[in-house]
Structure 1
Amino acid sequence: MFEHIGLQALYTAAQSRELDRYAMAHFEVTAAELMSRAAQAAWQSLLSKWPQVKSLQVLCGTGNNGGDGYLLAALAQQQGYSVKVLELGQLQRMQSDALAARQQALAAGVPMVAYSAEEFAALDPHDAVRVDAMLGTGLGGEPRLAYRAAIEALNSSAIPVMALDLPSGLCADSGSVLGVAVQAAHTVTFIAAKRGLYTASGPDYCGSVELASLGVGAALSSHLPATCLRLQLEALLPALAPRPATAHKGLYGRVLVIGGDYGMGGATALAAEAALRCGAGLVSAATRAEHVSAVLARSPEVMAQAVASGQDLSALIPSATVLVIGPGLGRSPWSEQLCQAALRSELPMVVDADALNLLAAGLGGQFKARDNWVLTPHPGEAARLLGCSTAELQADRFAAVSELQRRWGGVVLLKGSGTLISGGGQILLSDYGNPGMASGGMGDVLSGVIAALLAQGLPAVMAAALAACLHGAAADRAAAAGQRGLAASDLMHEMRGLLQ
């Protein structure tokens, strides 16, 4: 469904090394040539990012990541910039290609010294940039003591850092920090985009990200299918066909939003309004009687009805085509009744918030995995569904979303920085959105968007993918006025505009 619409492939570190080997074997290019191309690409990216730069400090390890750094230093030296390499690790263990790169840098006249706190502090901060070429994708555990000290020094300095391939200490596969990691302002990654750059802690540590294909990357996707695709809103929007002149509301489904226990009616109102604004033909809300007037006052187009029990809800379900269960649902006996009534139906549904917590606690009735639901947990809810801690889940979000989908079926959308979607044998990543979304109601809006797209006939995995991108992109637009104070209701107008 997604392979043929030009989405960016994301790879693990092992896959990236396989792509390197394949490129050398089939494109008549040597490791030294790839290293030279990487240095050229990084140097051009550095000059583009910091055109005022006058001096550089390049921190080099003993692997090929260090080799890239040595060659970048040679380029800077040859073009008259003030540059010095600070070396880490034991030179006698240096890999052959990195050693050859070091010899080239020496021949170019690049000054080299062993890393020390004194040498590090000697850089004039005026128009300076530091380059992280220490560890790259080869790191298998926490950085050793000397590297840790260098990473901490980089992070405490006000001088910007550019990372080569990925920040040292960041896991290329999961985006988790391996004890400590470089906080770069800019990262240039080579040949293949690494999936850890875009989720978990990756965005906080990578800064802006640029992919340099080195003349071979674009030709490699057919050799090694990606385990993850990075979504693009523009590529997904054509999934919603233009509406014919004869269109009527009955063609676009009826969404029933279920939730809103005492004090939480706003969650139901937000989900219902989002479904309405994203194209559902009819939207209803089943909630506490105390919230009906507030829902109607906010969105008179929504048919709000009071439900006092699961039996009341069961009478409303047959007229719906898609359910949303969870926004503001709570965990009271009333909540359990509504959740059980919804889960007894065979309708497609979006399961969010406290409905997920009730599922995890076994209070949603007899559990049965199903193909026609979309689960939308945040990390805490996902951890409860898997019976692990949030920290354990966040350490490998890719493994977590795959296990959630295997265990619960359907489509799973794992929220967070770098939203992950698992369904149909594919993992998808959406990196739209911003920290301003750390406010109440955002998840309720997302559940309504997914339901609206399901109601309009999109397959569940496409509905989740498009909704994640639309929701995040709308938040990015709304945050143009500032991230702090961004409210979930601010997304409504932006989402409607993006859908056009």
Structure 2
Amino acid sequence: MHGCPERTMSELFDSACLRTVEAAAIAASGDDGWSLMQRAGQAAWSSLRRRWPQAGRVLVLAGPGNNGGDGYVLARLALQDGCVVQVLALADAGPGTALARRACADYLASGGQLLPWRGQLPEADVVVDALLGLGLSRAPQGELAALIEQLNASAVPVLSIDLPSGVMADTGGVPGVAVQATQTVAMLLPSFGLYTGAALNHVGAVEVAGLEHGLTREQRGSPCAWRVGAGDLAALLPRRQRDWHKGRNGHVLLLGGNHGMGGAVLLAARAALRSGAGLVSVATCGVHVPALLASCAELMGFDAAAADMLKARLGAAGVLALGPGLGCDDWARALYAQVLASDLPKVLDADALNLLAAAPRPLAGSVITPHPGEAARLLGCRTADIQADRLAALHALVQRYDCAVVLKGAGSLVGAPQALPWLVDAGNPGMAVGGMGDVLTGVIAALLAQGLSPLQAARGGALLHAAAGDLAAGRHPYGMMPSDLMPHLRVLANPEDV
């Protein structure tokens, strides 16, 4: 595909690992961390200058820790570059570490001044958020919360250092008020919390400054997740040989489409075809079959109540997908029981997950694709608990159901037993519409049918689905329909073109 994105596959780290890496980088530099702070401040200043080259008035909000120290270094560099610079600190939040005090002294020696917070932000072209960084342990309170709220109410662009203040580094959760940054520059390595959940409302554009740390992979420690974007599709999707036939591309049997919900299973079936499945059968309510076949002649649709036909298709299929438009009545429960009795690989979504939540059981060799509400039912907790720590929720789902899991949402997460999680850095708010999950079910089922493992199919399917959503959205995401993804699925499902 011409103009395809660059590969973005990278490792993500939690705050404990980042602190270990920082300590190792300091040890490698041979001093107390001063040179590393200088490089961090320089990297942040360079990021600001690239993004806002005409900015002449810079306001730095400096916290008491080393994140604030990075801000003081930036402030000194901005002064030296001829900018009008103001540094604002809360009444009781002056430099609290030795390095921050030294950076503050350097800034003052260069002619800078400190302003007390008096409830009003000075005018500026750009504001630098150097308040908390990775050090957040609870929601901002008091004057700090008031400062952040006023900053968010202004129309001034914001550069956050490490992480927008108020965002949790390990989870992407936002327990209270948080800075809404225009751009975030992460130091050394990217933290997991930059790329998922509520954090996506706050981080803006993300840039990672490696600071020339020179650390080996062993010194960097173990990541907590992999991050993939649209540019990684070619590495994650199946490739075909010239002599392959439809049987090699697999037979997907989709089951669902209860009364009044035939469109859901049709969307899933069309997505399976557009994602490369060789054959797609659909077991649905008999009343939906004529419309199904009229809409897509390539499908093999039949009445799920026809026991002989269902038994034959269950025997012929290679992958089962259950959930789109399923419902929870006796008809749905009967299909659910037959699917779970099969040894075939399965993809479960929607009401199939609600039936699973009522009687949890392991599903080795299969894939489940819950959104946060379904995940809460599967784990017996609240949706807010899922969103507060999406990575922990993913691990819990994998452990309880012993299968590959796609935890849908902003920054979808993919996990499987004994595997490092994957974060999908693609997708957009226009995909928040009924039927979009049905499309994902079909995509993953098609990749399973083509021979990928459950983790590979879940990972590649979630990325393919999100990337197709981005192409379909263009500059106008709102009003997008799930069917808008179909032509883009076809293009992106061809690895040689992406």
**Closer/same/farther in 2, CA of residues 221 and 53 from structure 1, 3 Å limit:** farther
Q: Given the alignment, which residue of 412, 425, 436 partners 1:419?
A: 412
* Offset at residue 310 of structure 1 (A): 7.1
Question: Which of these residues, 470, 474, 479, is aligned with residue 473 of structure 2?
Answer: 479
Task: Indicate the residue corresponding to 1:394 in structure 2.
Answer: 387
- Whole-Å separation in 1 of the counterparts to 2:95 and 2:70: 17
Counterpart of 1:45?
A: 47
Q: Following TM superposition, by how much is the alpha carbon of 1:45 offset from its aligned partner in structure 2, in angstroms?
A: 0.9
Give the aligned CA root-mean-square deviation in angstroms. Answer: 1.7
- Give the drift of 1:91: 5.4
User: Residue 405 of structure 1 corresponds to which residue in structure 2?
Assistant: 398
The answer to whether the 8 A contact 1:289-1:305 is kept is yes
1:18-51, CA deviations, whole angstroms, 9 ceiling, x for partnerless residues? 1101112235464111111111111111111112
Structural mapping, 1:356-367, within 5 Å = 356-362=353-359, 367=360
Which runs of no fewer than 5 residues in structure 1 stay unpaired?
A: none
CA positional deviation for 1:244? 2.4
For the pair 1:446 / 2:440, whether they are aligned, the reply is: yes
Cα 1:214–1:29 shift into 2, 3 Å: farther
Is 1:137 aligned to residue 134 of structure 2?
Answer: yes
TM-score by length of 2: 0.94
Letter in 2 for 1:475: G
Query: What residue in structure 1 maps to residue 4 of structure 2?
Result: none
Whether the 8 Å contact between 2:264 and 2:435 is mirrored in structure 1 is yes
**Distance in 2 (alpha carbons) for counterparts of 1:456 and 1:285:** 18
Distance apart, 1:499 and its partner CA: 2.1
The alignment of Structure 1 onto Structure 2 pairs a total of residues equal to 487
- In the alignment, what sits opposite 2:60? 58
Aligned to 2:244: 247
The reply to whether residue 469 of structure 1 matches residue 463 of structure 2 is yes
Pick aligned residue for 2:259 from 254, 258, 262: 262
Relative distance call for 1:221 and 1:288 in structure 2 (3 A) is farther
The letter for the 1-side match of 2:292 is V
- What's 2:97 paired with? 95
**Deviation (angstroms), 1:133:** 0.5
**Quick one: which of 287, 299, 303 aligns to 1:302?**
299
1: CA distance between counterparts of 2:93 and 2:324? 58
Distance 1:138 1:295 in 2: 55
Q: 1:218 to 1:461 in 2, by over 3 A?
A: farther
Do the aligned partners of 2:327 and 2:351 also contact (CA within 8 Å) in 1?
Answer: yes
**SS in structure 1 at match of 2:197:** coil
- The residue correspondences of 1:96-245 to structure 2 (distance < 5 A) are 96-118=98-120, 120=121, 122-123=122-123, 128-216=125-213, 219-220=216-217, 223-245=220-242
**Does the 8 Å contact 1:191/1:217 carry over to 2?**
no
Question: Which whole-Å CA distance do the structure 1 matches of 2:465 and 2:219 have between them?
Answer: 31
User: Aligned-pair distance for 1:431?
Assistant: 1.8
Q: Secondary structure, in 3 states, of the residue corresponding to 1:57?
A: strand
Match of 1:498 among 469, 492, 496: 492
Q: Contact between 2:76 and 2:110, CA under 8 Å: does it hold in 1?
A: yes
Question: CA shift at 1:248, angstroms?
Answer: 0.8
Distance 1:164 1:6 in 2: 21
Give the aligned residue type for 1:470: L
How far the C-alpha of 1:217 sits from its partner, in A, is 6.7
2:295 and 2:31 mapped to 1: Cα distance?
Answer: 63
* Structure 1 letter corresponding to 2:365: N
1:350 aligns with 2:343: no
Match of 1:432 in 2: 426
Secondary structure in 2 matching 1:250:
coil
**TM score, norm. by length of structure 1:** 0.94
Q: Does 330-339 or 301-310 show the bigger shift?
A: 301-310
**Which amino acid is 1:409 matched to?**
D
Q: Whose relative contact order is higher, 1 or 2, with alpha carbons under 8 Å and at least 6 apart?
A: 2
1:247 is displaced (CA, Å) by: 1.5
